[in-house]
Amino acid sequence: MNTSNTFFGHPIGLRTLFLTEMWERMSYYGMRALLVLYMTGAVSGFNPGLGWSQVDAQAIYGIYVGMVYFMVVPGGWIADNILGHQKAVLIGAFIIALGHFTLAMPIEQSFFLGLTFVVLGTGLLKGNISTIVGELYKNLDEKRDSGYTIFYMSINIGSTLGFLVCAYLGEKIGWHWGFGAAGIGMAFGVIQFIKHRNLLGDAGMHPNEMSDKKRSRLSTYMYASLVGMFLVIGAGLMGLITVDPRFFAEKFAYFLTIVAGVYFVYLFLFAGLTASERKNLILLFLLFIGAAAFWAGFDQSAGSLNIFARDYTDLSVLGFVIPVGWLQFANPMFVVIFAPIFAGIWAYLARINLNPNLPIKFAIGLLFMALSFLVMIIAVDIALESSPVGMQWLVLTYLFQTWGELALSPIGLSAFSRYGPKRYMGQMFGLWFLASAIGGVMAGLLGGEALDGGLETISPVFSFMIQYYLVIAIVLIGLSFIIKGAKENAN
């Protein structure tokens, strides 16, 4: 390999993917930080919001996050069979930018249309860009995991940038400026991708082999579903269909759970797996449950915790009131600080033969998540006495959540590609993100429940979540001794 043409010692194409993902996450997290604030903001005043109830707003937020990650599944299929991964990323990035610019229009009607574009675009981009990362390492297997670690950094640099710019503009100047900034960020990503796409070489260039006839039939299905979708959205925008957001979110959560369940059962029973592949699948199923539960807590950051920051936290620093969204900095900043430390700890434990296996790492992730909500319960207690509380509570909450994320998220991604049945590899990212989808929609439902009665209703919901985290963590720890496949480590 020509070393002058590398990116931190990795294939140079990683730089293209790094920057594209960075801008995409900048736009995703930046806009997401504004979403519930905008939906629940008062309809009059200097920066008028939509004035919706917490329950509705949180449910819509949950549906949005759930849809974003759910669409990774069809997005992967479209790239595998019709477009190829590179083209899917490019079109996806373009549609995301279009979505943010649609949101930037200061009219209420553009809201759901904009969200739909972002959902569709992210479906095309998020999983497929992760797939191309893997493809860069076809003959460099030992480097792949560290390639993904670098890639994970781009996510967090991007989100820091998003919180910084979009939250400031959106909250201090006007919501639509924040949405527009997200669009500009994504547009930078599109330009960058077009300019440096050649560095990817052949990675992600070609869809699966199939006859032209079959491909054109599949394309027809794809366009037909898109048209169908837009007809439904159009009817919704014209007021022909109205749906109660919480009702829809609940059904959507069931739907996603059934999809995941059916897929696991199909793989287990009908995919012709060998005995050891089946054993690994059980392991992945357990990790899947852990991950879905984890994201249901993690995604409270832009949901209920965002509202806690706005309504019950003192945001002044040296006389300047920081934007609510800035508190979410804590997560990506802590990722950048602690990722190398966690990697070092795992490597050290591996040297002394004590590296915890996958289910134990996931259990650690869930225990940190439980701890983070314990901190929030204390914060809520203090707020009930005298509100607002200091920022340190949310910062500490995010610190524990980040530690949990580092125990679970980076290794989860590689575990799914490593232990998934080989012939179904392409779909493993989709499956991993399906856990994020279930987590996201659950986050919206739980967040709405928590905020339904102001401060009083927060703690019961958070303690319910803590109990669940403890139960799942204990089950994972218990089963890790039983399942032999779990003895292997992901890194």
Q: Which two tokens stand for residue 198?
A: 């050649």
Q: How many residues bind ligand GLN (CB under 6 A)?
A: 5
- Contact yes or no for 450/55 (Cβ under 8 A): no
CB of 462 to ligand GLN, least distance (A): 19
The smaller minimum CB distance to ligand GLN, of residues 110 and 331, is found at: 331
Query: Which helix (H) or strand (E) covers residue 357, if one does?
Result: none
Residue 244 contacts by C-beta under 8 Å, 6 or more apart in sequence? none
Q: Is 306 in the site for ligand GLN (CB under 6 A)?
A: no
Stretch 137-176: interaction string toward ligand GLN, x if CB under 6 A: ------------------x---------------------
Q: Is 419 in the site for ligand GLN (CB under 6 A)?
A: no
The smaller minimum CB distance to ligand GLN, of residues 41 and 332, is found at: 332
The smaller minimum CB distance to ligand GLN, of residues 72 and 82, is found at: 72
The smaller minimum CB distance to ligand GLN, of residues 86 and 331, is found at: 331
CB of 330 to ligand GLN, least distance (A): 13
Q: What distance in Å separates the CA atoms of residue 233 and residue 475, rounded to the nearest whole number?
A: 41
- Contact yes or no for 423/273 (Cβ under 8 A): no
- Contact yes or no for 35/27 (Cβ under 8 A): no
CB of 295 to ligand GLN, least distance (A): 5
The smaller minimum CB distance to ligand GLN, of residues 357 and 436, is found at: 436
Asked whether the bond before 388 is cis by omega within 30 degrees of 0, the reply is yes
Which residue of 10, 25, 32, 310 would you call a contact of ligand GLN, by CB under 6 A?
A: 25
Q: Is 330 in the site for ligand GLN (CB under 6 A)?
A: no
The smaller minimum CB distance to ligand GLN, of residues 379 and 407, is found at: 407
List the beta bridge partners of residue 316.
321
Q: Is 60 in the site for ligand GLN (CB under 6 A)?
A: no
Q: What distance in Å separates the CA atoms of residue 470 and residue 466, rounded to the nearest whole number?
A: 6
Nearest to 152 by CA among 330, 31, 18: 18
Q: Is 32 in the site for ligand GLN (CB under 6 A)?
A: no
Q: Is 409 in the site for ligand GLN (CB under 6 A)?
A: yes
Residue 45 contacts by C-beta under 8 Å, 6 or more apart in sequence? none
CB of 59 to ligand GLN, least distance (A): 18
CB of 236 to ligand GLN, least distance (A): 26
CB of 413 to ligand GLN, least distance (A): 8
Q: Is 310 in the site for ligand GLN (CB under 6 A)?
A: no
Burial label for 429, CB within 10 Å (0-12, 13-18, 19+), is: buried
Q: What distance in Å separates the CA atoms of residue 191 and residue 180, rounded to the nearest whole number?
A: 17
Q: What distance in Å separates the CA atoms of residue 348 and residue 344, rounded to the nearest whole number?
A: 6
Which residue of 61, 295, 308, 368 would you call a contact of ligand GLN, by CB under 6 A?
A: 295
The smaller minimum CB distance to ligand GLN, of residues 84 and 410, is found at: 410
The smaller minimum CB distance to ligand GLN, of residues 41 and 365, is found at: 365
- Contact yes or no for 310/37 (Cβ under 8 A): yes
Q: Is 328 in the site for ligand GLN (CB under 6 A)?
A: no
- Contact yes or no for 222/82 (Cβ under 8 A): yes
CB of 414 to ligand GLN, least distance (A): 13
β-bridge pairing 6-7 and 316-317: unpaired
The smaller minimum CB distance to ligand GLN, of residues 102 and 328, is found at: 328
Distances in whole angstroms, Cα of residue 307 to Cα of each of 144, 187, 312: 39, 29, 8
The smaller minimum CB distance to ligand GLN, of residues 82 and 125, is found at: 125
Q: Is 246 in the site for ligand GLN (CB under 6 A)?
A: no
Nearest to 29 by CA among 196, 186, 134: 186
Helix (H, G, I), strand (E, B) or coil at 244: coil
Which residue of 16, 116, 304, 436 would you call a contact of ligand GLN, by CB under 6 A?
A: 436
Residues that bind ligand GLN (CB under 6 A): 25, 155, 295, 409, 436
